[in-house]
Amino acid sequence: KRTWLDRLDHAASTWREIASAALAGDPTRSGATGEDGSDWTFADVSAHLNGWRARSVARLEAAVRGESPPPPPWPAGLSDETEEGVEAINRWFYDRNRGRPLPELLAEADDQFRRMRTSVEVIAAPAPALGTAAKTVAEKMEFVPGKK
């Protein structure tokens, strides 16, 4: 449990540092992905990460309730099993979130990290004693204590 919380705290802290650095510059500038020709801003990257993180939040919260992981938040027919599918999901996140205000996106990220931390705090048992849904989420998120 401590390892999970430490990793979450580190991820949240790192994200806040990245966001602070972006806000100190021009977060509306295109090219935030570092790829030539990219028109993504820091807000677009934030929305993209929030979209993927939302799935982790939903899975952790389902595990806490003893439920199976919910379906992904993207439309049926899109799959994260192939590179093409992931690209389609990324485009869906981009189209869905384009133009959202950066403060809203940063608040959403903070809420996601808080919700993940709350879920992990509830999961008090070591990984082998967790229910199947919780073990699946833990393994996919690489939060199993002792796992390298």
According to the model, what pLDDT value does residue 126 have? 55
Is residue 5 predicted with pLDDT exceeding 80? yes
The gap from C-alpha 21 to its chain's centroid, in whole angstroms, comes to 20
Q: Which residues contact 137 (CB under 8 A, 6 or more apart)?
A: 56, 59, 60, 62, 63, 69
Question: Residue 57: which of 137, 136, 127, 128 has the closest Cα?
Answer: 137
Question: Residue 19: which of 140, 122, 142, 109 has the closest Cα?
Answer: 109
According to the model, what pLDDT value does residue 147 have? 40
Give SS3 for 118.
helix
Give the C-alpha separation, 40 to 31, whole Å.
6
pLDDT band at 148 (very low <50, low <70, confident <90, very high): very low
* Mean pLDDT, residues 80-105 taken together: 93
Q: Give per-residue pLDDT as tens, 57-86.
A: 999 999 999 999 999 999 999 999 999 999
18-27, 43-52, 55-64, 88-97: least confident range: 18-27
Q: Give per-residue pLDDT as tens, 30-62.
A: 766 666 557 888 999 999 999 999 999 999 999
* Mean pLDDT, residues 96-115 taken together: 94
Please list, residue by residue across 16-31, b when 16 or more beta carbons sit within 10 angstroms of its beta carbon and e when fewer do: eeebeebeeeebeeee
* Mean pLDDT, residues 92-120 taken together: 93
Is residue 113 predicted with pLDDT exceeding 80? yes
Length of the chain: 148
* Mean pLDDT, residues 127-132 taken together: 51
